[in-house]
Copies of this chain bind each other. A is one copy, B any other.
Amino acid sequence: MKIYFSPASPFVRKCLVVAAEVGLADRIEKLPSNAHPVNRDSTIATSNPLGQVPTFFTDDGQAIHDSRVICEYLNSLAGADLFPADAKKRWLALTEQSLADGILDAALLARYEATVRPDALRWEDWSQSQMGKIADSLDYFEGAIGRRGDQVDIGTITLGCALGYLGFRFADYDWRSSRPALAAWFAKFNQRPSMQQTLPPA
């Protein structure tokens, strides 16, 4: 199996955390990439017209994306239970994956606004709206995470990757002080080998 890889991409990380959790990390070759929000990587685009990482290849060459599909594929291949079969647990895990993906989508848009778009064309309302989505989503998880206990599933893994990305790209953003339960959960979750093996570059 192969994956177009970027060490800074939180969506790539999510796939690699899942791969580590289900015992498949060693079987995935990392392909270099130059994914960029405006200048698409033409090599990736041959297999995924969106030109985005992660794009993944099964052993028989089928191209699969995006991270949600790749993660479900890896879970299925390993016969693991990161996508719960029980209905109520499944819809909760998938909805929390969607919410944590939404934190990442908002964080990426805020970052593109601040670092990719020319200075003179930046729009403060747009950036604030993205940060507002992030703050409210984190507030939800502050209230909800206690009910998840030590559950490891696609919802909590995506949340871990989202919080890791905030620490990586928004280091000055203090999400912890008003969210002690979430901060405590992440401090523990982040010690999992799957998280430590996939830390973004310093």
Contact = CB atoms under 8 A, between A and B. Distances in A.
Interface string A129-141: 1001100110110
Number of this chain's copies in the assembly equals 2
Interface stretch (A24-32, A69-77, A178-186): A69-77
Given A40-B133, A117-B123, A121-B121, A69 B50 contact: no
A79 B17 CA distance: 31
A172 to B, nearest CB: 22
Main SS at interface, chain A? helix
A69 B94 contact: yes
A22 to B, nearest CB: 16
A57 to B, nearest CB: 11
Contact of A98 (B58, B65, B120, B133): B65
B50 A95 contact: no
A125 interface: yes
20 contacts: A37-B129, A38-B125, A38-B126, A38-B129, A39-B129, A40-B132, A49-B137, A49-B139, A51-B136, A58-B91, A62-B92, A64-B91, A66-B98, A66-B102, A68-B94, A68-B98, A69-B91, A69-B98, A117-B126, A121-B123
